[in-house]
């Protein structure tokens, strides 16, 4: 184990492995890359066998900071007893080192075989000093508005791109935007990859900076002028700033594509700025050439025929509608809602994806009625939906249905027959298809679903779609739903197959399908099949598992280890790190 090595004996590869592990440790999640790298070089592994062991006592001198690698501890103070319990990934002991004070509590092991990562005081203080030396803080009116940290690989001599050697750690949205514009390089043809810091800012800006605020800030920078200097310096500054603003906007458009057109505020801003750019002959000429170059690259990559030289400048000239079996679902697209009445009779109506519960109900019943919209699953669990909830239909679970009824009828609702799933297996049909054909079809469909999604949907999903008016996560939900469909399909087919011999053959086939999916690097459907096979209903089929050849069992066990959630899914992370991305284009 690398951690058990003395820090002085660790190689560069060892430190890199430890650094990768620290990325997934809760206590180190807020630390910068440079701090984690320094910690990886000095961390000491410490283990204790017996529960009840006292790690240190209240009043002791502080000598180390600890991260719990495995196990848990109780935190005890005089007069209060146990004040809290800390678990894997959490830390303790910092306070005494920072304040050079005695320990404020006693730490006692809560279970046997606890493992810790220890940083001794001397290394802890040195790392803090290094961080401070490499940190730049910008203050305005007594408040810190921007914090930058020098990148670990940029300790050489300074140069023309000195600003780019600093990473944004925190700051106000306006100051971060100003920094990104200041450090944006203009010596390119527009085909260079977008800086990760810029793409992160643009993809997540709605979390901390609404579109209206971002557009206003960009407009302000576009119109900025230099208050001092010669006329030549002022002209150069204005032109340089405009170029940077336009390039940042072009990168914004490149990230979001036609999705930006769905935001009215952004659409109006882009149209207004397009007219201002068009009026500036020098700027519009440079941009047209850059957009033509980007278009030319697409022609070479995708084989498009037309490439007009006199094409009008347009932000979206390089954006194209996606081509495929599945088109992205947009917020205003209409989908078929299936809603059931209290007597289980269905109602079908076409409504926009983003419709609120209130709008759905208004399309079915009179507004002055005592009706509610209820979501119910196959076990009969009911949830009354709030009137302002939106896009509820695409967010339904696999076995959930929508019901509309009066408040008094809610308790009388019963699950529909089709919510219980199929009653007959399709084993014979599956037997006629090869494992490779099934896996390939799953992979092709996964790819269609994946390409229909935009990464910003994950941002909306994580932070809560309700916080972003007009946003949709329908494509992400469709992708997740298909995962659940595959998982339930595996369980259902195996449980409905009554013939023991056929069931054993089917089980072996699903393991083979998982093997092909992993070979195709389609981990989405691979894990869907594996989750199905690890379902308790399938695991209980002891006689079936006994008929599986030992070689097939070994393959399954190896795949099962990838689902081990310990150490923040370490087995999975290491496996993914060794894979190259799939290429289905």
Same domain, 294 and 361: no
Q: Are residues 24 and 118 located together in one domain of the fold?
A: yes
Rounded to 5°, the CA angle 552-556-562 comes to: 155
pLDDT for 418-459, tens place per residue?
A: 998 898 999 999 999 999 999 999 999 999 999 999 999 999
β pairing state of 64-70 and 114-120: antiparallel
Residue 540 has which token pair? Answer: 């209980």
pLDDT in tens, 290-338: 777 766 666 565 555 454 555 567 788 777 776 667 889 988 899 999 9
Q: What's the CATH number where 190 sits?
A: 1.20.870.10
Pairing relation of β-strands 81-87 and 72-77?
A: antiparallel
Place of tokens 């941002």: 459
Within 10 Å of residue 99's Cβ, how many Cβ atoms?
10
State whether 413 and 434 are in the same domain: no
Q: 3-class SS at 248?
A: helix
Residue 583 neighbours by CB distance under 10 Å: 7
Residue 438 lies in a domain: yes
pLDDT at 510: 98
Q: With a threshold of 0.85, does the pTM exceed it?
A: no
Question: Is 278 found in the same domain as 204?
Answer: yes
- The two structure tokens encoding residue 99: 């304040």
Q: How far apart are alpha carbons 451 and 447 in whole angstroms? A: 6
Strands, E, within 166-278: which ranges?
166-171
What's the pLDDT at 270?
Answer: 94
pLDDT of residue 76: 95
What is the total count of domains within the chain?
Answer: 4
Structural domain including 254 reads 172-302
Write out residues in the chain with pLDDT < 50, as ranges: 154-164, 305, 307, 585
Does any domain span residue 562?
Answer: yes
* Same-domain status, 42 and 117: yes
pLDDT of residue 332: 85
Pair 269, 361 in one domain: no
The DSSP result for 262-315, as a single string, is: G-HHHHHHHHHHHHHHHH-HHHHHHHHHHHHHHHHHHHHHH------TTPPP-T
Counted residue by residue, the chain has a size of 585
Give the end of a domain, one of 71, 97, 130: 130
285 vs 291: CA distance, rounded Å: 10
Q: Which two tokens stand for residue 374?
A: 């209820």
Residues 369 and 442 in one domain: no
250 and 208 share a domain?
yes
Question: 567 and 436 in one domain?
Answer: yes
443 plus 568 within the same structural domain: yes
Residue 154 in domain: no
pLDDT at 13: 85
């Amino acid at each position: 184990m690398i951690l058990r090595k003395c820090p002085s004996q660790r190689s560069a590869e060892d430190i890199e492995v430890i650094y990768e592990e620290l990325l997934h440790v809760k206590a180190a999640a807020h630390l910068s890359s440079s701090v984690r790298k320094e910690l990886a070089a000095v961390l000491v592994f410490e283990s204790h066998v017996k529960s009840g062991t006292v790690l240190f006592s209240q009043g002791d001198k502080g000598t180390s900071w600890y991260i719990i690698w495995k196990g848990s501890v109780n935190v005890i103070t005089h007069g209060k007893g146990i004040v809290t319990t800390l678990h894997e990934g959490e830390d303790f002991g910092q306070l005494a080192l920072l304040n050079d004070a005695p320990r404020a509590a006693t730490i006692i092991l809560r279970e046997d075989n606890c493992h810790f990562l220890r940083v001794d005081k001397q290394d802890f203080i040195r790392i803090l000093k290094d961080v401070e030396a490499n940190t730049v803080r910008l203050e305005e009116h007594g408040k810190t508005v921007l914090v930058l940290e020098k990148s670990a690989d940029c300790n050489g001599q300074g140069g023309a791109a000195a600003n780019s050697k600093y990473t944004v750690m925190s700051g106000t949205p306006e100051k971060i935007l100003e920094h990104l514009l200041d450090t944006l390089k203009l010596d390119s043809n527009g085909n260079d990859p977008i800086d990760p810091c810029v793409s992160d800012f643009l993809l997540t800006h709605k979390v901390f900076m609404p579109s209206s605020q971002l557009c206003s800030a960009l407009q302000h920078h576009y119109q900025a002028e230099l208050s001092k200097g010669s006329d030549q310096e002022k002209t150069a500054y204005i032109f340089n700033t405009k170029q940077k603003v336009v390039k940042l906007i072009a990168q914004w458009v490149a990230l979001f594509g036609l999705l930006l057109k769905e935001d009215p505020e952004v659409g109006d801003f882009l149209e207004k700025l397009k007219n201002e750019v068009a009026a500036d002959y020098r700027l519009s000429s440079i941009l047209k050439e850059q957009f033509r170059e980007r278009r030319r690259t697409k022609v070479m990559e995708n084989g498009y025929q037309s490439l007009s030289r006199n094409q009008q400048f347009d932000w979206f000239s390089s954006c194209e509608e996606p081509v495929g079996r599945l088109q992205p679902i947009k917020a205003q697209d209409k989908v078929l809602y299936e809603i059931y009445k209290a007597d289980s009779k269905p109602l079908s109506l076409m409504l926009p994806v983003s419709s609120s519960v209130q709008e759905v109900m208004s399309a079915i019943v009179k507004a002055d009625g005592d009706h509610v919209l209820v979501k119910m699953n196959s076990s009969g669990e009911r949830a009354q939906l709030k009137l302002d909830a939106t896009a509820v239909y695409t967010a339904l679970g696999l076995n959930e249905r929508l019901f509309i009824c009066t408040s008094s009828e809610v308790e009388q609702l019963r699950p529909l027959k089709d919510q219980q799933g199929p009653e007959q297996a399709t084993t014979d049909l599956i037997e006629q298809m090869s494992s490779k054909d099934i896996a390939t079809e799953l992979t092709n469909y996964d790819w269609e679903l994946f390409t229909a999604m935009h990464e910003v949907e994950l941002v909306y999903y994580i932070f809560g779609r309700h916080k972003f008016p007009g946003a949709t996560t329908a494509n992400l939900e469709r992708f997740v739903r298909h995962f659940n469909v595959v998982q339930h399909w595996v369980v259902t087919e195996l449980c409905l197959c009554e013939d023991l011999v056929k069931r054993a053959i089917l089980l072996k086939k699903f393991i083979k399908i998982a093997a092909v999916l992993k070979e195709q690097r389609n981990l989405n459907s691979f894990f869907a099949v594996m989750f199905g096979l690890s379902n308790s209903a399938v695991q209980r089929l002891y006689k079936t598992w006994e008929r599986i050849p030992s070689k097939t069992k070994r393959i399954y066990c190896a795949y099962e280890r990838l689902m081990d959630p310990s150490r923040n899914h370490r087995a999975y992370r290491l496996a993914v790190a060794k894979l190259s991305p799939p290429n289905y284009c």
